[in-house]
Structure 1
Amino acid sequence: MVVRENFEKKLEELQAKMKTMGDLAAASIEKAFEALKTKDVELALKVIEEDEVVDDLDTEINHFIIWLLAKEQPVARDLRRIIGALKISSEIERIADFGVNIAKSTIKIGNADSLVNITNLEKMKDISIKMLQNGLDSFITGDIALAKEVGDLDDEVDELSGEAYKSITSYLKEHPEETDHLVQLLLINRYLERTADHITNIAESAAYLIKGQMYDLNS
């Protein structure tokens, strides 16, 4: 019984690290978007610098998981939980990278008047943050409803992404002098759409842990 209690504590420690990593990734997206709206190049540079913290935590989680696998030799649901954590940490690291990509686009746009308001990119960002919270909470609490909600929200992001593409390209036809700026917005649209896809992968890992079968929440 004591051995099991110690193992559960280690799993809780692992989940706490994942939650911290998820919070950092969400903050990266939030800060990058704030920098985009306010033309704050210094904040964008800070997002890029802080990505190293996420990378370090991803490495720490990977080492922790390898140690757990070697020491505890888990089977069945415990093994699914640990392997799921490994996959999810990789997804979170990629999500934080998209925050960095948005920050880099912000730097390229520079001091030009923001054209974000011609798009629904901010709404995509807000939905993505909610998806990330739900996906991680689903994995940690075992709530399958939260995982399925992530899939529904991903559909919303996909629809908004299509609308954003149309609004940006339509504006480009009338304002070719803004090409460089608008190309960066198209890239940010893509980054946010891909962010939602990676979060959906997290929800699928959570669903597999909970139900023991694979779900395609992207369909």
Structure 2
Amino acid sequence: MTLHIVREIEKLKKRLLTLSAMVEESYQRSIAALERRDAALAQQVIDADTDVDQMEVDLEEECLKVLALHQPVANDLRFIVSLLKINNDLERIADLAVNIAERALDLMKLERIPMPFDFANMSQKVYAMVKKSLDALVHFDQGLARQVIALDDEVDELHHQTYGLVMAQIRQNPDHLEALICYLVISRYLERIADQTTNIAEDVLYMIEGKIFRHIL
């Protein structure tokens, strides 16, 4: 591996870390906005999405330039291919954080009702998945990546439970239908973020071991 491609890969890593930090912050802010009913914070998440989108596009372009100009092989090629996929997963997480912020704004216009499911537990588990997947990426940590994949089943089960809880609340309190549907949709967004972090974890394992784990673990 030439010194030049080493430098280019290091630049790509730094760009990815910057994007990761922005996405993590978007997620945290969207959850806080919902919990605090903070319209200004929710709007910050929505406004910041343009910067995330631009960074995702820039990183993709840089990856393609390295592929075209340096024709990397073996581990370097695997890293860049994985980075392209992870880049897209991160952008999707940011989009879902925006979706949560938008639903938070919708809920602020409605009568306040109790959370119909254990939002704190579910959002914390999803945040743990976001954090662990990014740490696994930074440190090339197989153990953390596998923890993320294991947690996905827990989040799926929580979302399944949420569906039943919300349906029961709708039957008991039809006047709260709009707010309850918002909460159900938010649960779905959390479950989808968990899926994206699982994709990242699987790509980290691919980078390290050279095996495709999707549909296997």
TM-score, normalised with respect to structure 2: 0.92
CA contact (8 A) 1:200 1:217 kept: no
The residue number in structure 2 matching 1:148 is: 146
Residue 139, structure 1, aligned to residue 137, structure 2: yes
Residue 32, structure 1, aligned to residue 30, structure 2: yes
Residue 184, structure 1, aligned to residue 182, structure 2: yes
1:9 corresponds to which of 7, 10, 15: 7
The residue number in structure 2 matching 1:90 is: 88
1:23 corresponds to which of 21, 24, 29: 21
CA contact (8 A) 2:116 2:180 kept: no
Please give the secondary structure, in 2, of the residue aligned with 1:10.
helix
1:168 corresponds to which of 166, 169, 174: 166
Distance 1:147 1:104 in 2: 30
Shift of 1:112: 3.6
Shift of 1:58: 0.2
> How many residue pairs align between the two structures?
217
Residue 157, structure 1, aligned to residue 165, structure 2: no
Shift of 1:185: 0.5
Q: Which stretch shows the higher mean deviation, 155-164 or 7-16? A: 7-16
The residue number in structure 2 matching 1:49 is: 47
TM-score, normalised with respect to structure 1: 0.92
Alignment root-mean-square deviation, CA: 1.8
Letter in 2 for 1:213: K
% identity of equivalent residues: 34
Which blocks of at least 5 consecutive residues in structure 2 are unaligned?
Answer: none
- 1:109-124 paired onto structure 2 within 5 Å: 109-112=107-110, 114-115=112-113, 117-124=115-122
Distance 2:55 2:212 in 1: 27
Which blocks of at least 5 consecutive residues in structure 1 are unaligned?
Answer: none
Letter in 2 for 1:42: A
Letter in 2 for 1:100: V
